[in-house]
Structure 1
Amino acid sequence: MNGPASREEKLELGVELLAHLEHDELALPDAIDRIETVTTSPALTREILDAAEKRGVIERENARLRVQRGGTYVNYETQVITREGEFECRRCGTTISTGHFVQLEPGELGPFGSSCIRKVTGRDTDSSE
């Protein structure tokens, strides 16, 4: 699972990830942390944020994002699957034996460790919200 191959696939996956955030509001650095699981390209990160805003997925004000699609957070029973194997977490780079993968409409995102999957989906946060 190497993630989406094309720039367009990454853009769609990034927008969809923003649409599935757990909370209605998010600090921009936290949003970028999540987008970096899709791409580390600053230009593509900006494209993802711009596309999400143009499509009405988010609103940006100062250094905060407000998600406009309420109730579409990642469902852990149906959208997160686990696989056993030797993986490297896409968020933190740690070697893991159980990979958590998020199933979104444009594709699959992962693998993530058990704590990073919660951060990526917004279940756990590092900053004040």
Structure 2
Amino acid sequence: MNEPAAREEKLELGVELLAHLEHEELALPDAIDRIETVTTSPSLTREILDAAEKRGVIERENARLRVQRGGTYVNYESQVTQREGEFECRRCGTTITTGHFVKLDAGELGPFGSSCIRKVTGRDGDGGGSNAGDSGT
């Protein structure tokens, strides 16, 4: 059974995703919104946050996170790929025809629609909400 390995892979993906946030500071609910693209397990979400803090990736204060590794945001040219097909956005659940995938050292995360990929990587500025109606086309 590979459940522990899958959990460890998700933990690593979550920590790496936090390390690649676009902005240096983020509200905790927005960080959790991004982590939920990796897992919806509250215990694993907590483990991801704890591991990121222990490794010096983030610093937590009140309901905010500060990313400690500046300049490591997701590079769209080399780390985001697009594939055509029939997908369901991993963040909002919308059916999409173009899936955006983030390549991280810990693995690949996606698919996401065109709006959600910006939210997951922190490129849209607000970090919250859903992209209902994001057709990905």
Higher relative contact order (CA 8 A, sep 6+): 1
* Structure 2 equivalent of residue 103 of structure 1: 103
* Structure 2 equivalent of residue 118 of structure 1: 118
Please give the alpha-carbon distance, in whole angstroms, between the structure 2 residues aligned to 1:104 and 1:122: 15
* Structure 2 equivalent of residue 23 of structure 1: 23
Q: Structure 1 unaligned runs (5+)?
A: none
Give the drift of 1:127.
6.0
Give the drift of 1:125.
3.3
* Structure 2 equivalent of residue 79 of structure 1: 79
Q: Structure 2 unaligned runs (5+)?
A: 129-137
The question of whether the paired residues in 1 share the 8 Å contact of 2:80 and 2:103 is answered with yes
Larger radius of gyration: 2
- The yes-or-no answer on 1:48 pairing with 2:18 is no
Instruction: Give SS of 2:78's match.
Output: coil
> TM-score if structure 2 supplies the norm length?
0.88
C-alpha RMSD of the superposition? 1.2
> TM-score if structure 1 supplies the norm length?
0.94
- Runs of 4+ more than 6 Å apart: none
* Structure 1 equivalent of residue 32 of structure 2: 32
Output the amino acid matched with 2:76: Y
* Structure 1 equivalent of residue 62 of structure 2: 62
Deviations along 1:62-97, one digit per CA (max 9) or x if unpaired, are: 000000000000000000000000000000000000
Count of residues paired in the alignment: 124
